[in-house]
Chain A
Amino acid sequence: MSKNPEFVKFDKVDKSYDGKILVVKDLQLDIAEGEFITMLGPSGSGKTTCLMMLAGFETPTHGEILLDGNIISNIPPHKRGIGMVFQNYALFPHMTVYENLAFPLRVRKVEKDEIDKKVDKALSMVSLSGFETRMPAQLSGGQQQRVAVARALVFDPAVVLMDEPLGALDKNLRESMQYEIKHIHESIGVTVVYVTHDQSEALTMSNRIAVFNDGKVQQLSNPAELYEKPVNSFVAEFIGENNTFNGEVVDIDKDKCKVKLANSEILANPISVKSKGEKTTVSLRPERALINPTDKMDNMFTGKIEEVIYHGDHTRVRLNLLGSSEFILKVPNSTSNLELKVSQDINIGWNSTDARALDPK
């Protein structure tokens, strides 16, 4: 099965609501067939607008959206054949679960037997068989969510859009639903465009993540790359936790650079710095800095513990290091736990490859 790598294509799409501010700027995004892509970003970053344009509820101000090679900008929503899961589920409150699921099939004039079969299949997919006659109000939030997912999938759409579908669920339910949606995606191979502002949700579920900010895609890559190799300081900041150092490049090599901070120098991996004298923000993941490292590391410093916070599976330690009191360390709660006490001095080390010198904040 040859998969179309440009199944959904945003081609130079601009969108403005008021003619003054662009909420989506020159968006260029290809989504492959069968892919699970997440649009991730803070609120107001334009991700939901993109989804609404794809669903047909908003029209691009400029540019085209293509679905399987056809321009769809002028096709009304009901003819696009795109399934959608809404933020508040948008189940029809006056219809039973069965009627909700049968709705997209009935409007397509599917035979009654066929409808029964498909509804059955869709409900068993979300493990809600036997709930046909319930009204949405009689279901829990998680069950409503599953019905909404089943309804968006029951008519075999080519693309399913999900607009922060898990936002209203509590943490445990949200996590189990993440896996469930991921498994449904894997089993039926539908193309999913998922919008969320929750980065852990995005990392768990997606094949690729498009990080939105300020109407632009900041980075489009798979979850691991996004986390390990953020291309700019916004992405580094937005995804996961992050220790930053602001400074100036004083020496640059092919894969190493020296960054001068207020009163010290560190070695870093030059990502978006090219030459000496550039301002930069160095980003370091908290788990990449080790306490009393046994291996030789090219950045070794001593810091003073300011705060110790117990988090169950790990302990967070806030240090005063290199003139900043916001340096965070994550220490796993293993049996060989260290004695960590406030105002104790400890040695910290990290490799320069993990310290990414990005654009200045």
Chain B
Amino acid sequence: MQVPSSKRLRFVLLAPLVLSMVVGCSSKTENKPPPKESTTPKGESASADQQAPPKGPVVLGNMLDPFTPPPLKELLANHKWVDRPVVDSMQRMREHQAKLPPPKLSAKEALALRNDSPEKNEKILDTLGRLAPKDGKGVDFDAEITLLASGDLKSTNPLLFSSVVEADYGGLAGFGLFGFDRTFDKFASADTVVSWQTSEDRLVDKVVIRDDLTWSDGTPITAHDIAFTFRAIMTEQVIVPAVRQGTDKIRWIEAYDDQTVVFFHKESLATNDGNMNFSILPKHIYEKSIPKDPTLARSAEHTKYEDAPVVGGPYVLTKRARGQEFVLERREEYYMHEGKQVRDKPYFKTVRYKVIEDRNTALLALKSGDLDSLILIAEQWNGQTGGDDFYRHNTKASGLEWTSFHFCWNLRTPYFSDKRVRQAMSYAVDYDELLNTILYGVYQPNRGTFHPTSRMFPKNGPKPYQQDLDRAEELLDEAGWEDSDGDGIRDKMIDGRRMPFEFTLMVVNYEDRIKVATLMKECLDSIGIVCHVKPTEFTVLTERQRNHKFQAAFAGWGSGADPDTTSNIFATDAGRNYGGYSNPRVDELFDQARHEFDEEKRYALYGEIHKQMWKDQPYTWLFYRNSFYGFNKRLRGYNFSPRGPFHYGPGFSSFYMPVAAP
């Protein structure tokens, strides 16, 4: 039922404010503005670092090469078609849970537990994670849920989404065709799609959408909306911060009738499924207005729709107080069509997002019952959520998450161009202190870019690094970084100048992040390297990284739904390859994997990439962050995916509150 709407909810630079609170998704794109930025006044273009749109007449789809789609009959006859899955993600989850033994504890017993061990965590999730019965019996359909928005909702237009807050909004209000479950298995959503077929050569996808879909203004949703949205995205003058990445691999989208839409791909890629997943705009609203105002935000008409958007998802925006909160209400016409219920009724009547940027304030709000769910950082999980004040209204649960943190070394600087130096850096980290003292022993040691529980992780994958300062010093000596002038700082002659090993490690100005960076400073200090810790705004950090104007940075990536998203980070000159890593072998493997349709072989190729990168250490991989959430005792139906409890199918749609909640 959940319709992941923002184009692809994928890799994310873990923003302090955004991503550590709401586990991250944002789309990947080369010119993507950072997920978190200062709020932009209404009526201005969505992001300050965007460039002015190119001048010239606005012709929808002017970035596309001319293409004449064949008539439908011809198309159907010329290809061999393979049926693809159309899935109700909630149903799939329900079937999965039906196979499990009944929960050992009653809800009351589970809520009385204090989550201080993995066993108790499992018990809590086993009981409280169960879905509501299919007929919705016992669900309080008038309930309201209050969630945290870690920043302001900057735009309600799916084309302008760039941060997690907008992705969260899009997940509720947006309309899309595809989704994925918690194992990242992709499918077309049964809520919107009747059938999905792919040609055997993987160059064409044919989707038939349902005929009982309506926009919130009553107009039916048709295949033409999809074709129109694609053309709008592929219009040069339209400033699209995030969603264009991926859609540019599509050659053409043609609506043959109101229900049938066909995607023509440029290449036969394993990533094509993901490329088709973007949020849809209502054609009847934007068809005429976009040529007048390609910024989507300046004209009076667009401003009007910004605050009262016409949406196709289960919820519609009813209130938007900037910097404070925004409220969505359930759309009756989403699940009712011509007097008949055609889809599951969304469980909550009202979804309220409160904007709270400070983590401590947010925790206090959760404790007092003002928030119903909140992501917790290790320190909060461990130190501040164990007492009666927390358990009065809440319980907490954790799950594995494929979110990985690292030091990114800029290979374009003289310090880190040498592989041995980067390895020395990895040997220098005091992992024991990092994991057990600073991170409270609740995160896993890192073993590379793909999570050890993912299918991409190679067999006999690398073991985590252990601190070995002797080895680090040897490697540095080998690389020519020795203290030749006796000032206690290693140095090296570069271009005839003696250069001391003194660099700046940038970090987002979050207390827990700064602690990690400070530990690195301490470790490096003991082997004669000076490291300055520079806490900075997330926006600045991203900007500096994107322009390669940094020496080292502490950052993290969330997991994409497809391993190919990693190529955007490690392939030569890729959009998010901030460190400037380049290895032809890795590039080649990424390309091979993109064209490989045999799943096993494809994952093996990613395993190869994983191993190669572990040798090169473009990053010093530090730890995987788990999901830690506090939930109000009234909440039920939460389950964890490698992207947290919200960002998969069914995700949020499975949350509910029982009628007689304690």
The answer to whether A and B belong to the same complex is no
